[in-house]
Structure 1
């Protein structure tokens, strides 16, 4: 559907048989049941990386009272995730040369070390804060592999009619982890009671210690889960199956240096990379400080603890359902893309058009004093959930389109570049937030503008499906 055909030279098979009379169809392929175990283990790691990254945003009020964080310091804790992408070239090189197992082991080790640093119960407040910041940075160093390796894993282990679905699961489960942190944190950590003034100083100290103990419980629990997953990866996580599952998985790929040069010189790739990185980077930073954004709209950290007016809702549940909706819808759309191939651009146009409308609705709802739109629980829930559905569900579709556009560049390198760009956008957004944290309404306008910008780029993009041609037509 509107795809630009490749030239004959680009369609030459990369696996050249020794006998000219033989065909590429003689390349034997096979799928293994263990692929689901590999996908599950990788998904659990991605889930925990998302949980740890988004630990502090949903409980920012409690953390400020217990650890004496500044309000802008919460944005810095979220910022360490994008900062961890700075050495992404090292992780992509390791994945390309040594396989997914080596890169994933290193990333999981950083997660364990980071979770351990955050859990050290030192009494000095300044040292405790530095340990927490260091732990968040180490967890961010796991991001390049966790967020980029989904398409590489799906190509290595899954057949062509399951690749988009596997990519969706591996790519979106980290978002699901971030969503669950909106529930785990506020559920286990009590919010400071702003309505009841504590008259006795001793009572206030006891409240701070209780909040500190509950936060420590969350940190210990996350450390325990990460350690178990590290042991599982250490004892069982093969880099690749004995026999590749498809022709594309068995084909020769470009070298690391050639891949980087080809990506940076491909205008079509840069266009679609911007269409992906700008809205996903903005929405990552936006969701990480969602509680801060919704505070002017009178949204609480925890529901049912205080009597709120009718237009007050739980910020944790808003963040949770917005991301969960995107994950569920993303897997469904990926399954649809697997069954009806060659429609990636059309799917993305529809998704980003919906994201533009939903983000505009949310922005105008937050400006209820100017727009006079009703700021109710229903409108805030609906607009946030729709933003999460449309933007988050587009991630695996974008990944599949990247790979089709630049094939035979390896999947890990391609997705490593675009995830780095997305985290760069997120990092710049959170960097500015540390200076302009008093009024965060400008973040909503950034979200709306990024969705409209992405939609324009996708409409102008010309799609091609070289990898799909190799699997479906050349191998038949």
Structure 2
């Protein structure tokens, strides 16, 4: 974890650089340069950082809204395009798989800075949304054109979904990174919640896609006006030039903790993606309406956002990454187990309560896992590990959707189901039920659980000392001591 020796990696001197829109200095740090003298660096945060963060939040909302555009109305969309529900599921699955294809470009782009990544995402969102709309209008709906537009929006997603750790590292201090990462990362599922909640009420499929396209177009405009980087670094670790992608990959490959985080993150994010995409199909065979399923999806996400908004600032102050991970992972696995039987109750209480617990634990865990990943892989550049984690989550999400769809028990007669409602017949395994898929989901979620619980245990080789935090605390603490001594 030694400091880089090249002069390009030295903390940048910013003495005397002030502006009217600066906030108060976060601190003053000093470190040895190549000539073994101290170079003093004043670390500051800038109000303009909120502009870029807001745009990152906005784009993550829009791109996730695009992802789940058709999922809340899967039955209506299948009828409109005259395809099966499996084909509608592939609109979500193809979106997730697109992430893998573009990830090397995303990693390279983010290594050069988050603004380029944000602009790439905006261009792809504009193209993808209007091609989707054209596909819904042409000849009463051309599924292939819609799929092409959906893949373009899928290519846009990783440019903003992977960006939060890189953006928070560039613009925020160690006392604000988790909150910044949480705000930008969790905006993505917020978009999914909006899709689940709003899309069923937007009318016909063409009208629904049109409204989403207009929203997406407006959201992309500010991307071209955000600042590329702060004039001066916010912390000691931010002042160090980023490690190259090749060196970052080499360092990450030697971290046992990273492999544990990767498996845990990929499985739980993958199941969250699959569960969100298939929630309507999980519930409607039991008589739940599309509106009720959409509200359940909204509960999943909105409760998660509220709890994450409370937990993230606490984690920023305590940096209790391991404790958070070990408390939250069981609270993710257990609701997946209980959801096997939730639809069979044919009441709103069980699915809604379990969705709330699952959302609260999943959303609280996400920024903690991402920031802990940066900590255990330091000095690797943040976007490299983040891209790998998200690739795993998107890949497994797509695979889980395919597997869970294959485990579905036939097809439900939607007209008969809607007539009967939740309280009528059909038994515990009505036609179209996804009982086997839910068993598969719970079994994998529980099988993975011991891995994160082993983090931090020395005899397993998973004990890790502070990385980025040590740099920030040591350098800033040293300089504060020097200031006190000289006062």
TM tier relative to shorter chain: 0.7 to 0.9
For residue 83 of structure 2, give the secondary structure of its aligned residue in structure 1. coil
> Does the CA-based 8 Å contact 1:72-1:433 persist in structure 2?
no
How many angstroms apart in 1 are the aligned matches of 2:118 and 2:451? Answer: 33
Q: Which residue of 2 aligns with 1:321?
A: 299
Q: Which residue of 1 aligns with 2:481?
A: none
Distance apart, 1:441 and its partner CA = 2.1
Which string of whole-angstrom CA distances, capped at 9 and with x for unpartnered residues, describes residues 393-440 of structure 1? 211010011000000111111100100011111111123245444352
- 3-state SS of the aligned residue for 1:465? coil
Confirm whether residue 223 of structure 1 aligns to residue 213 of structure 2. Answer: yes
Match of 2:111 among 79, 90, 96: 96
State the distance in 1 between where 2:448 and 2:164 align. 22
| CA–CA separation in structure 2 for the residues paired with 1:266 and 1:163 | 22
Corresponding residue for 2:86?
72
* Counterpart in the other structure of 1:417: 388
**Correspondences of 1:437-456 after superposition (within 5 Å):** 437=408, 438=410, 439-456=433-450
1:464 and 2:465 equivalent? Answer: yes
Could you tell me how far apart the structure 2 residues matched to 1:228 and 1:380 are? Answer: 35
For residue 253 of structure 1, give the secondary structure of its aligned residue in structure 2. coil
Task: Tell me by how many angstroms 1:239 deviates.
Answer: 1.9
Moved more, 281-290 or 353-362: 353-362
Q: Which moved more, 1:104-113 or 1:450-459?
A: 450-459
2:308 to 330, 334, 344: 330
Q: 1 CA distance for matches of 2:254 and 2:139?
A: 51
Shift of 1:465: 2.2
CA RMSD of aligned residues (A): 1.8
Q: Distance in 2 between matches of 1:145 and 1:443?
A: 31
**In the comparison of the two structures, how many residue pairs are matched?**
420
Alignment of 1:140-289 (within 5 A): 140-189=154-203, 214-234=204-224, 236-289=225-278
1:113 to 103, 122, 127: 127
Kept in 1, the 8 Å contact 2:62–2:219? The answer is no
Q: Shift in Å at residue 76 of structure 1? A: 0.2
Choose between structure 1 and 2: higher strand proportion.
Answer: 2
Normalised by the length of structure 1, the TM-score is: 0.84
CA distances 1:182-234 after superposition (whole Å, capped 9, x unpaired) = 11111223xxxxxxxxxxxxxxxxxxxxxxxx322222222222222322212
Structure 1 SS opposite 2:253? helix
Name structure 1 gaps, 5 residues minimum: 1-9, 190-213, 303-313, 369-373
CA distance in 1, matches of 2:174, 2:115: 22
Shift of 1:316: 0.7
1:455 CA drift (Å): 2.7
Aligned partner of 2:33 among 7, 11, 17: 17
Give the SS at the match of 1:364. Answer: coil
Question: Does residue 400 in structure 1 map to residue 401 in structure 2?
Answer: no
* Superposition deviation, residue 62 in structure 1: 1.4
Q: Distance in 2 between matches of 1:12 and 1:262?
A: 15
**Higher deviation after alignment, 215-224 or 156-165:** 215-224
For residues 405 and 290 of structure 2, the distance between their equivalents in structure 1, rounded to whole angstroms, comes to 21
Instruction: State the Cα deviation string for residues 271-304 of structure 1 (Å, max 9, x = none).
Output: 11111111111121111110001123321113xx
Greater relative contact order, per chain length (Cα 8 Å cut-off, separation 6+):
1
Contact preservation (8 Å) 1:282, 1:446: no
User: How far 1:122 moved relative to its partner?
Assistant: 4.1
Q: What SS does the aligned partner of 1:351 have?
A: helix
Greater displacement, 283-292 / 426-435: 426-435
Greater CA deviation, 141-150 or 214-223? 214-223
Tell me how far apart the structure 2 counterparts of residues 140 and 178 of structure 1 sit (CA, whole Å): 14
2:332 paired with 1:355: yes
Deviations along 1:234-269, one digit per CA (max 9) or x if unpaired, are 2x1222111111111111332111212322343221
The answer for unaligned runs of 5 or more in structure 2 is 11-31, 411-432, 457-463, 478-487
